Structure 1
Amino acid sequence: MGMHDLRIRRCVERATGNGRLKITLTQLWYAARSSNPSAEGSPSHGVRAWVRWTVALPLSAALVAVAVAAHGGFRTVALGLVPVVLVLAAVLRHRPARRPYAQVHPSETVFRSLMLGAWTLTYGGLPGGVVDEKRAAGATAQRRGVKQRSGPPEVVIVCTEPVVARFLRENRLPDRSHTLLVAKAAERGGPVNGPAHVREALELLAAQRSDLPVVVLHDADAGGALLAPALRAAHPGRTIVDAGLRPGAASRNRRAVRRFSPGRGCDAELLRTVAGLPGPEAEALAEGWWWPVAAVPPPVLAEAVTKAVEHAVRAPAPPPDRPGSPLSQGFLTWPDDLEEPQPPGASRTDRKHDRKHDRKHDRSTS
């Protein structure tokens, strides 16, 4: 649905800021998604069929026998109860428990096979400005990485999403000498484990200079909510800016991509007491709901990272006796509306069709 060449090119133009940025194939997948259906879980209710009819059929037979043997009012009452019992047995259906789910259509596997298969065969390569983050960076990108890290670093960036880290490297973001630490627990297969991300980030940061400010980038998930508080507790007196995606802001935005992965390794009480999340947000994250930072529109992500780094460099360090001092300014959030750029020469009919398709897409993702 909607996966045609012209729409993909418009998505690329919008995601790259009309060619200003380079994006990864995963970011393009999120930007070009057709829908993002999701549903909350529900417990089982009702009575199973074999229980209903095991009770209803003998009871109905007994009522018929009573009606045959009885006379007068008892016979009328017994015969009247037979259809009532049968109707109740038919109506009281059993609905099994439903697990929560969230999907992105098309799936990442299908989208990657389309772009690396049919698209590449037709056009000779990915669209301009799109890189496959699962392939090693070329020599030019490696030289850019060496150049952007030349000189003494001014800030440390801890990123739990390798896709976002590749996006920062490809675009030489931020425009300051920095050290980029990437926690790669998500690449090891299985559900993303929150405590694993936190432990790896603590180990990575322990090897860095203690006088450098830290900017944290993460998904809106259980591990991301605990990451900044854990780093502040381990490094009291150090400037640590949480520039990750906020669960509250993401859950309230109908354009945000919603995902579900059970077994993320954190309970709601831990998220309430350590991360300071409200009850509903903590319960949602503990259940397995999360919002990927890689799905944030790349221009918004680039601007948020730049602002967070500038704030971290200029902000005074918190007093050592206040490890929980917040330095969270809400740098990263989904925009409420993004107008999709039109290619030069697009007709009014094309723009009207695109707006109609976007309205259908919004309804399917809300």
Structure 2
Amino acid sequence: MHDLRIRRRVERATGDGRLRITLTQLWYACRSSNPSSEASPRRGIRAWVRWAVALPLSAALVAGAVVARGGLGTVCLWLVPVVLVLAAALRHRPERPASALVQPPESTFRALMHGAWTATYGGLPEGVVDDRRAAGTAARRRGVKERSGPPEVVVLCTEPVVARFLMENRLPDRPHNLLTTKAAGRTGGPDGPGRVREVLELLAGHRTGLPVVVVHDADAAGTLLVPVLRAAHPGRTVVDAGLRPGAVSRNRRAVRRFSAGTGLDAELLRTVAGVPEQEAEALAEGWWWPIAAVPPPVLAEAVTKAVEHAVRAPAPPPYLPGSPLAQGFLTWPDTVGKPLPSGAGTRSRSDRKHDRSTS
């Protein structure tokens, strides 16, 4: 971690100064590694149990060799090292929970940027704002853009970091209402149902018929938001602009994180959200991929495309969910700034069949 590397990451993340990004987004961009490990059960036998059995058994074998002599005594002597080797090999390995880290840790990176960097350069890099600090007057002017007419779309963002990014860059470039949920403390715990309920309550006060664009992480709660909102608001256009677990789980460049416990089981994710069984189990276990880690230029383009689609697309017929709007607009890119694939996020035939079966 050094000045030149951070400056290069800032230039890339801001699109050479075209965008304003948050400190959390810069932290993801400056990560040096993202080690993760799956959960493993307890294996082996505890040391005191192994040696409580092996040592008396070895002593008995030695005594037997002395008494028996001959061929039987030789066999007993050969068995002694075998018993000792087995006792050493059956080493106890305790149960290990799943984990995923982002290096350096966020607290370390923030201390660096607000400490040594600020002391040297007098402030954060140009175009970087701290999302944990309230937006100033200038930021509010940028976020609350002059509107030539009433709102055309509702952007519902479940990640406050991304909501701040959209506000700082006056995205999307249409009159809109930006709704965001409270910051979710990703410290574990069954928060999934509560987050889904919060989104429903947040949108309940905006029954204007405006199309809705949902921006969310690739996590258990995020996969449920769009199908639940379509069921709760029949006849209203709801477009998915969040991360799809299937797109990011197979990409090694995607930031992978883990928070134990979601409160949502795999069967619910599979039947309601149409998530494949293996992905549903991983999400229910607590694996998730943050949308704030998506390169900002790609994120800005994806949200813009989703909003344009939501505004122009005809509303689905009442009580008939989905059809052309059940698609995602964001897939994890291999290269920053790489255009999104033309077929990214389109629904499979099995997904459409599932929609018909549940209508």
Is TM-score (shorter-chain normalized) higher than 0.5?
A: yes
Which residue pairs with 1:332 in the alignment? Answer: 330
Identical columns (%) = 77
Pair 1:60–1:189, CA change in 2 (3 A): closer
* 1:334-363, Cα deviation, whole Å (9 max, x unpaired): 2112389xxxxxxxxxxxxxxxxxxxxxxx
Pair 1:38–1:326, CA change in 2 (3 A): farther
Pair 1:72–1:290, CA change in 2 (3 A): same
**Structure-2 separation of matches of 1:339 and 1:308:** 17
Q: TM-score scaled to structure 2, two decimals? A: 0.89
**Structure-2 separation of matches of 1:149 and 1:227:** 29
Deviation at 1:149, TM superposition (A): 5.3
Report if aligned partners of 2:235, 2:318 keep a CA contact under 8 Å in 1.
yes
Which residue pairs with 2:89 in the alignment? Answer: 91
Which residue pairs with 1:360 in the alignment? Answer: none
- The answer to whether structure 1 residue 309 and structure 2 residue 307 are counterparts is yes
Alignment coverage as a number of residue pairs = 338
Which residue pairs with 1:347 in the alignment? Answer: none
- The answer to whether structure 1 residue 321 and structure 2 residue 319 are counterparts is yes
Pair 1:192–1:306, CA change in 2 (3 A): farther
Secondary structure of 1:257's partner? coil
Report if aligned partners of 2:297, 2:337 keep a CA contact under 8 Å in 1.
no
Which residue pairs with 1:352 in the alignment? Answer: none
Report if aligned partners of 2:44, 2:90 keep a CA contact under 8 Å in 1.
yes
Secondary structure of 1:180's partner? strand
Which residue pairs with 1:58 in the alignment? Answer: 56
* 1:202-253, Cα deviation, whole Å (9 max, x unpaired): 0111111341111000001111011111111111121111110011111111
Secondary structure of 2:325's partner? coil
Which residue pairs with 1:268 in the alignment? Answer: 266
- Aligned with 1:254 (options 252, 255, 269): 252
Q: TM-score scaled to structure 1, two decimals? A: 0.88
Report if aligned partners of 2:186, 2:259 keep a CA contact under 8 Å in 1.
no
Q: What amino acid does structure 2 have at the position aligned with 1:186?
A: A
- Aligned with 2:195 (options 197, 209, 217): 197
* 1:127-158, Cα deviation, whole Å (9 max, x unpaired): 11111111111112222333355631111111
Report if aligned partners of 2:224, 2:273 keep a CA contact under 8 Å in 1.
yes
Pair 1:150–1:223, CA change in 2 (3 A): farther
Q: What amino acid does structure 2 have at the position aligned with 1:114?
A: L
Report if aligned partners of 2:220, 2:269 keep a CA contact under 8 Å in 1.
yes
Q: What amino acid does structure 2 have at the position aligned with 1:253?
A: N
Greater RCO (Cα-Cα under 8 Å, separation 6 or more): 1
- Aligned with 1:47 (options 34, 45, 49): 45
**Structure-1 separation of matches of 2:324 and 2:38:** 32
- Aligned with 2:124 (options 117, 123, 126): 126
Report if aligned partners of 1:148, 1:175 keep a CA contact under 8 Å in 2.
no
The runs of at least 4 aligned residues of structure 1 exceeding 4 Å deviation read 187-192
**Structure-2 separation of matches of 1:191 and 1:332:** 27
**Structure-1 separation of matches of 2:143 and 2:72:** 91
Show structure 2 runs of 5+ residues with no match. Answer: 339-359
Deviation at 1:315, TM superposition (A): 1.3
Secondary structure of 1:241's partner? strand
